[in-house]
Structure 1
């Protein structure tokens, strides 16, 4: 439930992003409007539709224009950004952006609508994201008992030898944690599906250098108020004492992009440096964009720099 009433008493003010009122209502100041899917986007020729995965999880699935209906395509499980508390898989910004990625990468994409904080504090988003990834993987197994109806676009066109996870900002954090969980010896995806690669765009990471007064720190404590270890929790801090060995990330290649003006840049570069030093045997690709800020390519995907970055992501996925 949302409210924009100025007469109610504010409990938490995260302007210009959101406000939480003492009566429990949430006013999301930042965000783009929901838009419907399209069976033939006029700019990219990408088709999309909305699907239900479970009672708590839905998604928007994308299919590029097919030049060879018999050819199997990579599958991208995508997690939207928004600090775990904003935006949506169905919002204008993410829909327009996914159309671009799907068109350039020639990939089937499943953009996950996970539950948001503060109505559903973390770890709800991580739980939903793993369940959605398992649901996608279940399409590789005939008669799988994973909840939800099977999706023909995934069955008919998805190549389960080329499964990617990806996302921007908080979504990049989720994608990273899904890859880490998939690499855990005690966890596995349905059908033995393996994640080939992770696309981490401006991932929301913190480290011990993150200051308590920073928005990154404050937002984390807001979306996960009961978090064990605070900023030293491995879900937000890949360098935490209790974090898994970086070399054990469950994918064979990692693409990370950051930007010069982004407050998360230092933590992002720290992660890439640490991953390369960890003994990780996979491919690591870093793109550091000069003169730009956080998730610039999603806010305006038609600039030259945005198009260049999206093309690099697509090239990474196409292999």
Structure 2
């Protein structure tokens, strides 16, 4: 390619994303979108897309009903992708959420929050909270809110769950803290949250990590890329819940937690620390941890058909349908 037509790269976070000096963003992984399916042939789950607000969309999943007025647990789900790639409409998420909806027999609202760098943090957190408020608003008689028939007819609002993988797991943590401090519409309560391979990081080495490894890591670079104005950098409480001035985990706004980890995932040591910190915090709930041997980050999404992936999805499903 002639040099005068070669675009200059401003930030190269391969294999995730590239930002060019002209403002163009190239997402290198996991964001290819597929349409919803009125009737998934493998699971029988129906899905459709809708607008929650002028800027937040979602894909809704409804499993096969056994009776016309059946009420189901509701899961608000946040996809992964380091806050800068991935999508609720991704070719990776569609099969995974279909399986989870069928397995849990739950109505799932998979949230399409806006992504960095075009919409840096905290915008993805705000969009995620907006989506949860919208779901909860279905129990109120508030005028002006367009209600979704699947939720009004089949949502059991005494069984609201939130969950997410990777960056989505980080979102779940931050949303649970906010739900512990703020009231949701209709005083709806979150029963449980699952954090799968949650994206937590920090400047202090844990286990066998070195300071240099931490600072050279993609996890470190991605956080500063998606939240360039972040106070405290990599030790901001939103990415590092273990710093001294972080909100106490005793304030998590749910009564049950499930943390899913994988042996080979570099995020696992912080996931284990998260569970230990929750237990010591005085939080008045029930926390469970699953660590899958021999597997890496979000393996169950990249290939949901393996035995270990099926087992983990069943585990998450039983947490929701409990």
1:293 aligns to 2:288 (yes or no): no
In structure 1, the residue matched to 2:197 is 202
**Residue in structure 2 matching 1:236, options 239, 256, 270:** 239
Q: How does 1:224-263 map to 2 (within 5 A)?
A: 224-263=227-266
Q: C-alpha distance in 2, partners of 1:207/1:268?
A: 12
TM-score of the aligned structures, taking structure 1 as reference length: 0.95
State the secondary structure of the residue aligned to 2:241. coil
Q: C-alpha distance in 1, partners of 2:159/2:62?
A: 15
Aligned partners of 1:44 and 1:100 also within 8 Å: yes
1:168 aligns to 2:171 (yes or no): no
State the secondary structure of the residue aligned to 2:76. strand
Deviations 1:262-313 (A, max 9, x none): 0101110000011111112211110000000000000000100000000000
Shift of 1:209: 2.5
Q: C-alpha distance in 1, partners of 2:86/2:253?
A: 27
**Of 101-110 and 239-248, the range deviating more from structure 2:** 239-248
State the secondary structure of the residue aligned to 1:212. helix
Shift of 1:32: 4.3
**Of 137-146 and 227-236, the range deviating more from structure 2:** 137-146
TM-score of the aligned structures, taking structure 2 as reference length: 0.94
Deviations 1:30-59 (A, max 9, x none): 124211111110000000000011110000
In structure 2, the residue matched to 1:17 is 16
Deviations 1:5-46 (A, max 9, x none): 981111110011111100010111112421111111000000
State the secondary structure of the residue aligned to 2:277. helix
In structure 2, the residue matched to 1:57 is 56
**Pairwise CA RMSD of aligned residues?**
1.3
In structure 1, the residue matched to 2:281 is 278
**Residue in structure 1 matching 2:315, options 304, 309, 312:** 312
Q: C-alpha distance in 2, partners of 1:25/1:133?
A: 31
Q: How does 1:128-167 map to 2 (within 5 A)?
A: 128-146=127-145, 149-167=146-164
Deviations 1:203-246 (A, max 9, x none): 10113425222211111001000001111211111112222111
Deviations 1:121-158 (A, max 9, x none): 10010010001100000001123555xx2100000000
Q: C-alpha distance in 1, partners of 2:258/2:81?
A: 20
**Of 207-216 and 193-202, the range deviating more from structure 2:** 207-216
Q: C-alpha distance in 2, partners of 1:115/1:265?
A: 26
State the secondary structure of the residue aligned to 1:255. strand
**Structure 2: gaps spanning 5 or more residues:** 206-213
In structure 1, the residue matched to 2:208 is none
In structure 2, the residue matched to 1:190 is 185
**Residue in structure 2 matching 1:177, options 174, 177, 182:** 174
Q: C-alpha distance in 2, partners of 1:244/1:142?
A: 33
Deviations 1:65-118 (A, max 9, x none): 001222211000000000000010001101111001100000000000000000
